[in-house]
Every structure is written in structure tokens, then in C-alpha cells.
Amino acid sequence: MKENKKLVLPDGSEFYGYSFGADCEKMLELVFNTSPVGYQEIISDPSYTDQAVVMAYPLIGNYGINDDDFETRTPTIGALVVRDYNDEPSNFRSTGTLSSLMKQYNIAGISGVDTRALVRKIRDCGCMNVLLTSAAADKNDALSKLAEYKAPCDAVARVSRKTAEEYKAENEKFRVAAIDFGMKQNIVRSLLACGCSVTVFPWNVTAEQVRACNPDGVFLSNGPGNPTDVREAIALVKSLRGSIPIFGICLGHQIISLAYGAKTYKLKFGHRGGNHPVKNLLTGKIEITSQNHSYAVDENSLAGTGLEVTHINLLDKTIEGLRHKSEPTFSVQYHPESSPGPTDGKYLFDEFIKSMERSR
């Protein structure tokens, strides 16, 4: 079988492989993920919108796709780049193949690629825009397209739900207003398990609309893109801060930081994987965390914001958690709902419950 797809990088290097999923040309940001399992969750995580994800683990597709593990029912990831793709899954839960799902949602895939070399290149050079195209495409034309490409800034608006949705807890203890910037469904499940009925609002909800549902707390979700592009969300937190408990993760963590006056910056190659060690500075414990983000909070910008660092990443010492010294606001950069450890992050939902209890 002849190679029929390739990735063209800005330095002119080309990586050839075989098409699976949707057969289409795409311009995307190239990133990598180190998780050995969880490709269905990665495919359906809205935070990967407009990105081509290089899977560092070589074998992908071997356990298929099932109906229970989606994080969103409309995946928006750009593409998957893998070493070995398996289209004959062996798993009693499997209801279909990864490739068929990718075709359904116009997600491109390329296999047979030297993913080790790609991961090293991203680590050395940083995340970059790439063109996934036909193997026969002219390289000079591809480089011209890359030079002209401007990454979109509306990813959150594209992936967020358009209308509010309600989820009722069986034994309701609290009511939570959750803001959807690209929310993973397991966040809703985690809140319901804590006895929280959840009203999920679109990304651009106003403070008045949030207050109208009389919530006990506000949750800010994960999502794609640059946090400074989501100005409406930053304004929302500014309006609500101090008056109600607020808990944010991932993009929500960054939005909280910006709302309090801190700054964010883009990491060289981001954090994406299921085994990132994070130290809780309040307890001294080390947590195994699931991560997926390109941006981080600048520690040097925290002076005067009232925010203090609660967690740090042990790989590069970046900020992984913050809390306000006097207001009921806290956040983490990682994903406590993703079963890292597998329950290392569950206490954060318990802390949110305690915060709402104190504020009643």
C-alpha cells in the first residue's frame, strides 16, 4: 500500500503516512499527548478543537469506540496522528471503530508516521501549525498556505452549547451554574454525584442570567484556545467574584486568573497526558493528574491580585492551582474529573461543596 497522506511542517519537513478517518486537507496546530489509553476521550474533548494530536503511544484504535465514554457527542478535534492504527478492535464494550467515528465527524487521521520523531520536534521547536494533505501535494504550495494561515480565535464560541441545559441530581443538596467553554460531560457527572443539580450555560452568559437561576456556586469549565480571547467570560467572573463560590478548571482556571488581574502565557509545547505529577502545596501530597492545555498563569503577575498558588507542576514548576485569600474562589489547571490516579482529584469537588456550605 502506497503512502497517501503527509504532514508538512513550517521548516519544510514532511511526514508521510496512510489516511484513516475523514480524507480531507486541514491546517491545524500540531500538539502531542502522552496517554497510553483514552483516545476516545481525547477525540471527544472539545479542548482539542483545531488541533492535530500526535499520540505518543504507538498503538491506537485497538479497543474501538463505545457509547459510554464520549466527553461530547459532537467531536471537534482536528486530526489524529498515530504510529499504528488498528481497525479491528477487540473489546466487549466496542460498538464501532475509531476510523468510522472520525469519518462521521470529519476528523482526519494519518497513520504509519514516526511519532517519536514528531514528539521530539515539538519538544525542541514548540507547537506549530501544520498542513495535513495529500502525499502528492506540492511542498512549496503547502508552505505558502502555512505562511498565510491565521489560527481562528473563536473556538470557544464554536464548541459551547447554544442554549442552557438542566441536569437534576437525585438528592439535590446544591444548585450549580456551570459555564460551558467546551465542557466535558464527565464534569456534569461528577457534580451530579456530589448532589449538585447543574444548569449548564453557554460561554457568553451574563452575570444577570447566572444570578437569575439562584445558584449556590459557579463552575467554569475547560475549553480550547487562548483565554484572552474569551473576554465575555473574564467580565462575567469580574461581576460575580466575591459574591458566590467559584471553581474553575483548565481554561476556567486561566479565566479566573485574568479576571483577578493576573496574566497568562503560552507554553512551548503544553501539557497533554494522563500522568503529570502535581504537588499540592497545602497538604504536601503528590497527585497524578490528567492534563490538556497550551497556556499557563504567569506567577510573576500574581502580586496584588489576592491569588495564591496552591499547586505546582513537578515537571516544569508551572502553576497548577490557585485560590483567593479572602474570596470563595479557587481553581486548578488540570482535570480532576478525568479519574487521574484514579481518584486523586476528587477532593476538589468536595472542596467546592464545602465552599458552598460555608457561603449559605
Known catalytic membership, residue 271: no
Question: Are residues 30 and 47 in contact, defined by beta-carbon separation less than 8 angstroms?
Answer: no
User: Please, which residues have CB within 8 angstroms of residue 292's CB and are 6 or more apart in sequence?
Assistant: 33, 45, 47, 48, 222, 250, 270, 271, 272, 335
Q: Which of 188, 190, 218, 224 is nearest to 205 (CA)?
A: 218
> How many angstroms separate the CA atoms of 204 and 281, rounded?
33
> How many angstroms separate the CA atoms of 310 and 358, rounded?
20
User: 329-352: string of b/e by CB count within 10 Å (b at 16+)?
Assistant: bbbbbbbbbbbbbeebbbebbebb
> How many angstroms separate the CA atoms of 93 and 3, rounded?
32
| Cell of residue 176, nine digits | 450549580
Question: Are residues 187 and 337 in contact, defined by beta-carbon separation less than 8 angstroms?
Answer: yes
- One-letter identity of residue 334: Y
Catalytic residue among 29, 71, 196, 250: 250
Known catalytic membership, residue 337: yes
> How many angstroms separate the CA atoms of 61 and 85, rounded?
6
| Cell of residue 308, nine digits | 495564591
Residues in the chain: 360
**Sign, CA torsion 155/156/158/159:** positive
Question: Are residues 283 and 351 in contact, defined by beta-carbon separation less than 8 angstroms?
Answer: no
**R_g (Cα) of the chain, nearest Å:** 20
Known catalytic membership, residue 24: no
In angstroms, what CA-CA distances link 165 with 88, 123, 176, 188?
Answer: 37, 40, 12, 11
* Residue 273, SS3 per DSSP: strand
Phi-psi region of 204 (alpha: psi -120 to 50; beta: other; left: phi over 0): alpha
> How many angstroms separate the CA atoms of 333 and 292, rounded?
9
**Residues involved in catalysis:** 250, 335, 337
